[in-house]
Amino acid sequence: MSDPRDTTVIVGLSGGVDSAVAALLLKEQGYTVEALFMKNWEDDDSDTVCTAEQDLADATQVCGELGIPLHQVNFAARYRQQVFEHCLREFEAGLTPNPDVLCNREIKFRAFLDHALRLGADLVATGHYARTVYGDAGVELHRGVDPGKDQSYFLYMVDREALARTLFPLGGLHKSEVRRIAENAGFDNFEKKDSTGICFIGERDFRDFLGRYIATGPGPIVTVEGDEVGEHQGLGLYTLGQRQGLGIGGRRGRQGPWYVVDKDRPGNRLVVADGHDHPALFSAALDADELHWVAGSPPGGSIHCTAQIRYRQEEQACTVSLDKCGHCRVDFDTPQRAVTPGQSVVFYDRGRCLGGGTITRRHRLRPNPAAAVQDVCG
């Protein structure tokens, strides 16, 4: 690695506490540090505008405390084309996309990296809780040490070349440590709430926002036995395992509340079952495509490893079988709840992220009694 004193690092500064502390730590390590504030979303919602203005104000205050320059760039058009429009197509198809994964690949570790290099950076840095480790074959992506904040799940699609030019100063820290460092540094945002929800929707109502962009034709909500129990507002507005917002709360099943277990796209039916652990929610295996391997190429043959099918899920033992067309089947040692087409399955080997893919199909634990109901991927 190069001498920090001869290295310029541009930090993606969001206005949050994590990227602020990342910049501070790099400066303390001797790097020449600059910051870049990215505007990735534009829309006419006044609440969103106010949030962006506050984020910029927080980023400006941090740079003032650190005595580092703050650049600004607008990636909103690129974000809309490469992330948002793709997600809209997925929602319209009844899938549940993962925009944070796409944003990392297309914006934070491609557009941002390219722009930073043009500004004269040698490396870039972000406030992600992840680590890069150099092994015999080059750079590897590893989990952050804080299990509650590790974000490697969202980074599996980042190109290896980008990882080699990226620093993750928070990878060895816990969130509580980060907030304490920020408070001691005099950052106004040391108690700022972490952002939640889908990145381009934020804290707004998901159904109202998405309804502005996609057709949301209503249809029946049916049980796995085929009994109609309500009406949905559009299949794209729901996800497998969902309990809240179904509008059938007054009708409890024999085993408890209702949960979404399937989507029948040809019949425009949302399928529900009663009880958190209903067998219709569980899958023994899944299929995935759009595979990306951190090492640049897949391991040979079948892979015995662990996997996550959602953020913050505990790793699950599995066997990954690859075909010659860039697809894979993942067989789990233990059946998994709410395997969701459109989401990411990410593979690990003792803390090292191997790569991952997009879930296209789930293999149910047992056949669905409602014969007309199909998997969301057909």
Q: What are phi and psi of 214, to 5 degrees?
A: -130, 155
Q: What are phi and psi of 244, to 5 degrees?
A: -75, 150
β-pairing, 316-322 with 328-337? antiparallel
Q: Which residues are catalytic?
A: 103, 199
β-pairing, 282-293 with 303-308? unpaired
How far is 107 from 76, CA to CA, in rounded Å? 10
Tokens standing for 230? 């309500």
Is residue 83 within 8 Å of residue 200, measured between CB atoms?
yes
- What count of other Cβ atoms lies within 10 Å of the Cβ of residue 301? 9
How far is 72 from 332, CA to CA, in rounded Å? 45
Tokens standing for 323? 């075909």
